[in-house]
Amino acid sequence: MRESHSDTTAKVREAMIIIVSPPTKSSPSIAFDEESNTFKVEGISTIVNAVEFYDGAVKWIDEHQKSISATAEFHFHLPYFNSASMKGILMLMQRIKQGADNGSSWSIHWNVEDDDEFLLDAAESFEETLSFPIQIIRI
């Protein structure tokens, strides 16, 4: 059976998204879209050993830094995370800041519901701790 153009396009498009870590009940998905040059962390993060989990993403960035554009965007959409995850998220953001400090124009984008004070406060805390701007995107 012959593949249609849309089937082929879908397969090519899937190949452009690299899954760094698939989502689970307690962990977010982490993926890099080569086409849009966007790194995304999306989902709930209630992992007990979050530092270990997010260290996997840090190591992925270390291993692929040369293929990540100097203008990459790192998007976080975490509707809920626990305190253990906060440490892991901060560690990942520190790695992003390190890339920016080394000459890349990497940016952090924090997606948050307009009325979610917890997530707005978290973004401000991360920004203050890192001394690095975080763009808040209200959704």
pLDDT in tens, 89-127: 999 999 999 999 999 999 999 999 988 999 999 999 999
Give the pLDDT of residue 73. 97
The model's pTM: 0.86
* CATH number (domain holding residue 128): 3.30.750
Beta strand extents in 78-139 (DSSP E only): 107-112, 134-138
Separation CA 61–CA 57 (nearest Å): 6
Q: Tell me how many domains the chain contains.
A: 1
pLDDT, one tens digit per residue, over 7-40 is 433 434 455 889 999 999 999 999 999 889 999 9
Whole-angstrom distance, CA of residue 103 vs CA of residue 94:
15
- The per-residue pLDDT for 115 is 87
The domain in which residue 91 lies consists of 5-138
